[in-house]
Structure 1
Amino acid sequence: MAESLDDLLNQIKAEYQEKDQGKPPEKKPLLDEDDLKSPATNSSTYQPISSSPSSRSPVEDSMLSELKAEFEEQEREAQRKRQQQRQEEELKAKQREQRKRDALKQQAQDWLNNLKPHSDEGLWFEEFSYSYSSKLEAAIDYLQALRETP
């Protein structure tokens, strides 16, 4: 935040003193728009003000509570956005993997279509594919292994 809590408390106190004297208080939002756009400060750097509760008026306590509630709401919103971004990134990664798998599946199907069953490679593949649930799955694994070998 651009202003410290002491500055805000002094501003609030001045506004209420002006109000008591009959002057209309100057309206200023508790948080500037720039404060809302700036990244939240690290909670480990936050140091609470060590003033005794008896030195604050009920109005100051109320304003402090409002500030605290606003800050907590901003933190919850930022956390929600981070969680949503993580979920979107995970979904994109899964979709990328699925597209890769689909492309490999198509390549394996093409390879199987071009495989001559009585050739050396065809006979070897026939034996290789026995442990798989389908020849397509065997072809996928075989093509993946070929890609991974340097």
Structure 2
Amino acid sequence: MDSIDKLLAELQSEYKEVQPQQQQSKSATAKSFIPPPPKSASFIDNLLAEVKADFAEKDAAVESKRQQELEQERVRQEQLKAKEIEALQVQAKEWLAKVDPLSSEGLWFERFAESYSSKLEAAIEYLRSN
């Protein structure tokens, strides 16, 4: 039995030498599978700040586009108004050339035009209201 005891002692000593090496490799393997620690609050704060900044940037872009559209509409309205005034000036000049100053309409118009800086301006206003 002595040889069996020796053999058993050798196996136990080999096992004790191999076991710590296996545990170290297992712990290294286990560490590689451990999920990373939860992200810190500052990272989340930074992420939220970036999202807020993105939304603010998009909102600013939308507002800028809206302002540009409003400005374009204002310019278009002014151009339409200028064309309308031009057309009214042409009509007013034609009307002034045709109106008989001694007719009832001509006499009324003379009186009406006194409150304006020119007869053309008065004629434009008269035609605009008709």
SS in 1 for 2:114: helix
What residue in structure 1 maps to residue 65 of structure 2? 81
Equivalent residue number for residue 143 of structure 1: 127
Counterpart position of 1:114: 98
**Are 2:119 and 1:103 aligned?**
no
- Which deviations, in whole Å up to 9, do the C-alpha atoms of 1:43-96 show, x marking residues without a partner? xxxxxxxxxxxx851333222221221111111111111111112112211221
Q: What is the aligned length?
A: 93
Deviations 1:87-122 (A, max 9, x none): 211221122122112211111011111223333332
Give me the TM-score of the superposition, normalised by structure 1.
0.54
Aligned to 1:131: 115
Taking the TM superposition and a 5 Å limit, the aligned residue runs for 1:1-150 are 57=40, 58-146=42-130
* Residue deviations 1:103-145 (CA, integer Å, cap 9, x gap): 1111101111122333333233223322221111111122122
Letter in 1 for 2:48: L
Instruction: Tell me which stretches of 4 or more aligned residues in structure 1 moved more than 6 Å.
Output: none
Secondary structure of the structure 1 residue equivalent to 2:100? coil
Counterparts of 2:72 and 2:108, CA distance in 1 = 43
Q: What residue ranges of structure 1 are gaps of 5+ in the alignment?
A: 1-20, 22-54
Taking structure 2 as the reference length, what is the TM-score of the superposition?
0.61
Residues in 1 aligned to 2:80 and 2:44: alpha-carbon distance in whole angstroms = 54
Larger radius of gyration: 2
Alpha-carbon distance in structure 2 between the residues aligned to 1:145 and 1:74: 46
**Which is richer in helix?**
2
Identity of aligned residues (%): 44
